[in-house]
Amino acid sequence: MPNQHYHVIVAGLGGMGSATAYHLAARGRRVLGLDRFAPGHAMGSSHGDSRIIREMYFEHPLYVPLVQRAYELWTALERDAGAPLMTLNGGLMIGPPDGMLVRGTLRSAAEHGLPCELLRPREVAARFPAFQLADGLVAVHDPRAGYLRPQGCIDAHLALAARHGAELRFEDPVLSWEADGEGVRVRTAGGSYTADHLVVTAGAWARELLPELELPLAVERQVVFWFDPPAADDRYQPERCPIYAWEHTPGFIGYGFPRLERGMKAALMHQGEISSHPDGVRRTVRAAEGEPLRAALREMLPGVSGAPVRESAVCLFTNTPDTDFAIGFHPAHPRVLVSSPCSGHGFKFAAAIGELHADLLTEGRTRFDLAPFRLDRFGSNVDGGGL
């Protein structure tokens, strides 16, 4: 196949890569998107029917402006795609009053002037009867929280990218790339391509494409379960049951959803097996793996804790040491933008991150403070090229 030249090649077409391809193509750039898997695959981090979106970001207030822009872009994507992608049914951030989840949520709300309520167990039960909080717990109500439909979001971004002229190739993994002062050359199983820039949004496969950087990324196996409480019990419907996160153990968070098509999805964060390579992650789930989740749910959602499991699944987290994002230009190759190791909390931002990638590559700047996400904060071979 003869060489073809593009303005930008995007390696990885999950949540971040699909949004990047769309925003670049919408600005008239010639885009080639590449992915090692078929569309709609379940091998990475972005598949499935639900991801939480929340405004009062307990991790750090710096994320709030970025997620606020994401809300605007998801709404625009819904309009342009003509499909429902986001439901804002509210959220509860539950934990001890002095725990990191409640304190962090209140800090973000205060710094950004966001309306919120601090609810005691009796108030929670009166408004959201599925929840029966144990003594000593409180909940912060985030009225703008809710959930996204991730596969629908990806499909919409890809369809609109293609409509704007992007070329999208699936089941065509990147084998190698090289860069010089003029651009980049990417070799895949299907051909060789050149471009002015390369964006690496490969998630758990980022280390494979960037071995020289020695990025300290850990691929974590995240197990999720769908519980099936009685269908006639309307306490679990989205209109009466918000999304939720809770600090079940000091420093450890779980999260969950109302009843959706597959049941009530719930999981514990950052308690999974670490793998040396994403292809080696164990994909089967043993029934006993759900017991710690049941025990954690018992102190606030007893009806879900005792319900049967309808199904389970595995997805991947790609964790940085501090669990903040990693976004920056390659220290040796300024035409290569590295992004998307998001430590399990990134999908809600995908629309905004795709836009900021396009800003960086077309305008050389972005409105957001990306200093905390610099690649060179990791040291080692990642030096001097962050944003």
Q: Would you say residue 387 has pLDDT above 80?
A: no
Q: Would you say residue 304 has pLDDT above 80?
A: yes
Sign, CA torsion 8/12/13/16: negative
pLDDT confidence of residue 4: 79
- According to CATH, the superfamily of the domain at 4-46+151-213+322-378 is FAD/NAD(P)-binding domain (3.50.50.60)
pLDDT confidence of residue 232: 92
Residue intervals of the chain classified under CATH 3.50.50.60 are 4-46+151-213+322-378
CA–CA dist 79, 69 (Å, integer):
16
Please count the residues of the chain. 387
CA–CA dist 354, 70 (Å, integer):
10
pLDDT confidence of residue 181: 83
The candidate with the shortest Cα–Cα distance to 89, out of 218, 244, 223, is: 244
CA–CA dist 306, 299 (Å, integer):
12
* Residue 307 near residue 294, CB atoms below 8 Å: no
Confidence of residue 234 (pLDDT cuts 50, 70, 90): very high
pLDDT confidence of residue 16: 98
The mean pLDDT value for 70-91 works out to: 98
Read off the DSSP letter of residue 157. H
Helix axes 63-81, 150-163, angle to 10 degrees: 70
Helical spans, DSSP H, in the chain: 15-26, 63-81, 100-112, 121-127, 150-163, 206-209, 291-297, 302-305, 350-363
pLDDT tens per residue across span 12-21:
999 999 999 9
pLDDT confidence of residue 115: 92
What is the chain's Cα-based Rg? Answer: 21
Residue range 89-147+218-319 in CATH 3.40.1350.10: no
The candidate with the shortest Cα–Cα distance to 301, out of 227, 238, 251, is: 227
Q: Which helix (H) or strand (E) holds 233?
A: none
The mean pLDDT value for 276-292 works out to: 96
pLDDT confidence of residue 384: 37
CA–CA dist 386, 379 (Å, integer):
11
Phi, psi at 369, each rounded to 5°? -80, 105
Longest dimension (CA), the chain: 68
Residue 337 to residues 90, 277, 328, 333, 358, Cα–Cα distance (Å):
35, 22, 6, 9, 11
Confidence of residue 314 (pLDDT cuts 50, 70, 90): very high
pLDDT confidence of residue 385: 37
Confidence of residue 382 (pLDDT cuts 50, 70, 90): low
CA–CA dist 252, 368 (Å, integer):
28
**Residue 204, amino acid:** A
Residue bearing tokens 């109302």: 258
Residue 343 to residues 4, 222, 302, Cα–Cα distance (Å):
34, 11, 29
pLDDT tens per residue across span 330-360:
999 999 999 988 999 999 999 999 999 999 9
Q: Would you say residue 212 has pLDDT above 80?
A: yes
**Angle formed at CA 113 by CA 110 and CA 119, multiple of 5 degrees:** 60
Q: Would you say residue 380 has pLDDT above 60?
A: no
* Average pLDDT for the chain: 95
Q: DSSP 3-state assignment of 166?
A: coil
Residue intervals of the chain classified under CATH 3.30.9.10 are 89-147+218-319
The mean pLDDT value for 243-249 works out to: 97
pLDDT confidence of residue 169: 98
pTM: 0.96
- Neighbouring residues of 78: CB distance < 8 A, sequence distance ≥ 6: 84, 85, 86, 156
pLDDT confidence of residue 379: 78
Exposure pattern of 35-53 as b/e (b: 16+ CB <10 Å)?
A: bbbeeeeebbbbbbbbbbb
pLDDT confidence of residue 381: 59
Percent of the chain topping pLDDT 90: 94
pLDDT tens per residue across span 263-273:
999 999 999 99
The candidate with the shortest Cα–Cα distance to 157, out of 347, 304, 292, is: 347
pLDDT tens per residue across span 163-184:
999 999 999 999 999 998 889 9
